[in-house]
Amino acid sequence: MSKNMSENSKISADQIIGRQPGRIALAGMTIGMLLVVAGTLSPLLGGHVSLYRWIYGAGALLLLVMRILTPYTGKSLRLKRLYRIESWAALFFCVATFFMFYQPGIMRDWLVFTLAGGAIQIYTSIMIPLVVKKETAKH
């Protein structure tokens, strides 16, 4: 047991955090989230009905592609799970896009998936920095 503990204590902070996404990936994720927000707010504020679906869909697809192309590469299983959950938020946004086109007059279904994706996004944005801080302090 002491051998396992000594191996865990040799993990550096870079190994815990893993390879961080590059500037292009971060810009893509930011633009994707902004497009999802713009697509969500447009029909609620009385915007053009047919355009908001395409804006939202482009943002959801861009966010999903960026999440798939930038996987977590660190050693922490807890962080790996949190980043995987964050990818599910992008998938929820894509499902919401499907419902936007499948039932364009009904806001209920796509709005529920958008809220679920947003809740997951908020949870992971709070928990990832806390877990990184806890894991680096432990090692």
pLDDT given at position 93: 95
Residue 96 in contact with residue 47, Cβ under 8 Å?
Answer: no
- 62, 99 contact by CB (below 8 A): no
Residue 78 Cα distances to 4, 49, 74, 86, 114, angstroms: 18, 41, 10, 12, 25
Q: Amino acid letter at 18?
A: G
Tokens of 74: 């660190």
Q: Which of the 8 DSSP states describes residue 139?
A: -
Cα 76 off chain centre by = 18
- Domain range summary for the chain, segments of one domain joined by +: 21-138
Counts for the chain of helices (H) and strands (E), in that order: 6, 0
What tens-digit pLDDT sequence spans the chain (139 residues)? 444 444 555 666 667 777 777 788 889 999 999 999 998 888 778 777 678 889 999 999 999 999 999 888 888 889 889 999 999 999 999 999 999 888 877 778 889 999 999 999 999 999 999 998 888 887 7
